[in-house]
Chain A
């Protein structure tokens, strides 16, 4: 098997970065997330390939937090769009865990299927290669196995890394994977490596039948109780590897400007507020319910898979201790017709 020795990891990242923007999990000051290898500062930043989940997911690489869409020139009655900003520059997400890979695959369903291809997403994704990092020891908040993710064999990865102690087993999974492998072929060694033992999941979550059961629970009183602590801060949607909702806004300086999109959140009142003032989800509970139904029911109905990937980030960041695992449990236990 092909192995990338850990001693050659930095050399590999350097080499990959010659032609690609390489997003790597790292601790950077107070933040952890996927940042570009070129921005890595020796002695200050810390590579986080061993961590299960850094604070921010790598979705930024394919759906930037803000993204320019097109230019606007407006002079009197004349208006022009001179330029659109589809960006297909080559990027690599290096070391993504299965849950985060699934987040991107779910976004592929949204942005690239059902009649319309989003040209901005399509461009970024066409230039993007995913090098996944298989998980052998789930963390305290991990439950991807319950959400149809195989963290040992992440579907959609172009290369899968397996941490074998002093090196990573390097498994090529696609043509894109072949192409990036060729860039560092001289750093890979052909040898045997012992893979780690697969450890059990600590979180026990049973999602089976939940999507189907939720279909008849829209008006169930459990939403009142479950949503009570929620302050609609939106942190869960911000750190979520699969939350993809976006807003489109404009920035003008006099006659020139551009339209851009930015991550949005179903937690915010403005998200669904109509110009006339009406809002189908004006109440906090309604927004809370929307988020969990989208994750656990609606997305599965539409695309055949849940939109929660079991990464556990929202459990960690929620300031009011709302826990999606407990919500799944509550749905499981709920009596219908209550």
Chain B
């Protein structure tokens, strides 16, 4: 909802990027790379990001786009996992370590990490939708005692398209009181895991709605069916959180295009309880 008391910690020139250095690049899938950035003097990060917040990532000669920050490692780096989908991201996928790029932010409200304390957490993601949820998942593990059981349910088109494989298959399953479920859309020879779409797999796994919070992010069609399934499974609208995306240019609620009703997703969102979304026009 419009937040008149939004306390601004941004620069006095919120539309002008800060130049940072790309200190590492990791291929996550054939079309997703993680970019790790740090201040050019090697010292610290350009801004502090809460789980679920975004940064405007700028390859200066080309353009800029709003990207969810998938993780801030203390003052070491910000990590953006970026899928190649268009002009800017095509160019970003060509750059090499050492390249200077621009970032500005942090933008958006982020996940309600405090309000979720003490709850069982169910994270449901599809494709690159795991990138924003990962910031919350890693935050939960970092503050493990603050959260109850953690269930992670993730799917992608194929085995190769699964992001963050090391965490999914090695690190997260080892965490206490944590279950990780992974599925791919279609069977393939080197895959002995679950095959099928996320919503039906979720109904199969059937994580209890008792005291739980479900956090959902993925392609719009997946979100649509997951929300229907969650309702069937007994989740109320105030137990379901999602994070939206719209085209954005400014990131600060000025340029106009990312509105849904009177909300600007870049500023008032991108994270909403389903209960809040029900009050908005159905453009999400």
Q: Could you give, for residues 261-276 of chain A, a 1 whenever the CB lies within 8 Å of some chain B CB and a 0 otherwise?
A: 1001010000111111
Residues from chain A with a CB closer than 8 A to the CB of B2 are 114, 301-302
A252 to B6, CA, bound (A): 35
State which of A49-57, A69-77, A129-137, A198-206 sits at the interface with chain B.
A69-77
Q: Would you call A69 and B220 a contact (CB within 8 A)?
A: no
A115 to B251, CA, bound (A): 12
Q: Would you call A79 and B261 a contact (CB within 8 A)?
A: no
Q: Would you call B16 and A70 a contact (CB within 8 A)?
A: yes
Report B282 CB to chain A, min CB distance, Å: 7
Residues from chain B with a CB closer than 8 A to the CB of A292 are none
A293 to B282, CA, bound (A): 14
Residues from chain A with a CB closer than 8 A to the CB of B220 are 278
Among A115, A117, A120, A259, residue most surrounded by chain B Cβ atoms (within 10 Å): A115
**Which residue of A77, A80, A119 is within 8 Å of B98 (Cβ)?**
A77
Residues from chain B with a CB closer than 8 A to the CB of A272 are 246-247, 257-258
Q: Would you call B255 and A247 a contact (CB within 8 A)?
A: yes
Q: A69-B16, A219-B282 are in contact. Are A274 and B249 (CB under 8 A)?
A: no
**Which residue of B249, B261, B282 is within 8 Å of A248 (Cβ)?**
B249
Task: Tell me if A110 counts as interface (CB < 8 A to partner B).
Answer: yes
Residues from chain B with a CB closer than 8 A to the CB of A244 are 254, 256
Q: A115-B3, A115-B8, A119-B15 are in contact. Are A248 and B96 (CB under 8 A)?
A: no
Among B15, B245, B258, B261, residue most surrounded by chain A Cβ atoms (within 10 Å): B15
Task: Tell me if B120 counts as interface (CB < 8 A to partner A).
Answer: no
Residues from chain A with a CB closer than 8 A to the CB of B62 are 250
Q: A79-B100, A248-B249 are in contact. Are A298 and B4 (CB under 8 A)?
A: no
Among B14, B247, B284, residue most surrounded by chain A Cβ atoms (within 10 Å): B247
Total residues of chain B contacting the partner, CB 8 A: 53
Residues from chain A with a CB closer than 8 A to the CB of B102 are 79, 81
Q: Would you call B96 and A77 a contact (CB within 8 A)?
A: yes
Q: Would you call B64 and A248 a contact (CB within 8 A)?
A: yes
Task: Tell me if B166 counts as interface (CB < 8 A to partner A).
Answer: no
Q: Would you call B15 and A248 a contact (CB within 8 A)?
A: yes
Task: Tell me if A175 counts as interface (CB < 8 A to partner B).
Answer: no
The chain A residue sitting closest to B97, CB to CB, is A77
The chain A residue sitting closest to B88, CB to CB, is A275
Q: Would you call B252 and A245 a contact (CB within 8 A)?
A: no
Residues from chain B with a CB closer than 8 A to the CB of A281 are 283
A79 to B57, CA, bound (A): 14
Q: Would you call B15 and A118 a contact (CB within 8 A)?
A: yes
**Which residue of B14, B19, B88, B246 is within 8 Å of A79 (Cβ)?**
B19
**Which residue of B61, B253, B256 is within 8 Å of A115 (Cβ)?**
B253
Task: Tell me if B250 counts as interface (CB < 8 A to partner A).
Answer: yes
A249 to B255, CA, bound (A): 12
Q: Would you call A120 and B262 a contact (CB within 8 A)?
A: no
Q: Would you call A250 and B63 a contact (CB within 8 A)?
A: yes
Q: Could you give, for residues 297-331 of chain A, a 1 whenever the CB lies within 8 Å of some chain B CB and a 0 otherwise?
A: 11101100000000000000000000000000000
Among A70, A80, A297, residue most surrounded by chain B Cβ atoms (within 10 Å): A70
Total residues of chain A contacting the partner, CB 8 A: 54
Among A77, A111, A249, A257, residue most surrounded by chain B Cβ atoms (within 10 Å): A77
A78 to B12, CA, bound (A): 24
A120 to B247, CA, bound (A): 22
Within 8 A of B (CB), among A28-74: 69-70, 72, 74
Q: Would you call A119 and B262 a contact (CB within 8 A)?
A: no
Task: Tell me if A84 counts as interface (CB < 8 A to partner B).
Answer: yes
Residues from chain B with a CB closer than 8 A to the CB of A273 are 247
Q: Could you give, for residues 243-284 of chain B, a 1 whenever the CB lies within 8 Å of some chain A CB and a 0 otherwise?
A: 001110110111111111110000100000000000001111
Q: Would you call A274 and B246 a contact (CB within 8 A)?
A: yes
Task: Tell me if B13 counts as interface (CB < 8 A to partner A).
Answer: yes
B residues adjacent to A (C-beta < 8 A): 2-4, 6-8, 10, 12-17, 19, 60-65, 85-89, 96, 98-102, 220, 245-247, 249-250, 252-262, 267, 281-284
A residues adjacent to B (C-beta < 8 A): 69-70, 72, 74, 77-81, 84, 86, 110-111, 113-120, 218-219, 244-250, 252, 257, 259, 261, 264, 266, 271-276, 278, 280-281, 286, 290, 293-294, 297-299, 301-302
Chosen A-B contacts, 29 in total, with CB atoms closer than 8 Å, are A69-B15, A74-B60, A77-B96, A77-B99, A86-B13, A114-B4, A114-B6, A115-B7, A115-B8, A116-B6, A116-B8, A117-B14, A218-B281, A246-B249, A246-B254, A247-B255, A248-B15, A248-B64, A248-B250, A250-B61, A264-B255, A271-B247, A272-B246, A273-B247, A275-B65, A280-B246, A281-B283, A298-B262, A299-B262
Given contacts A79-B60, A298-B262, could you give 16 more A-B pairs where the C-beta distance is less than 8 Å? Answer: A72-B60, A72-B61, A79-B102, A81-B60, A110-B253, A115-B7, A115-B253, A118-B254, A219-B282, A245-B255, A246-B254, A248-B15, A264-B257, A266-B256, A271-B247, A298-B261
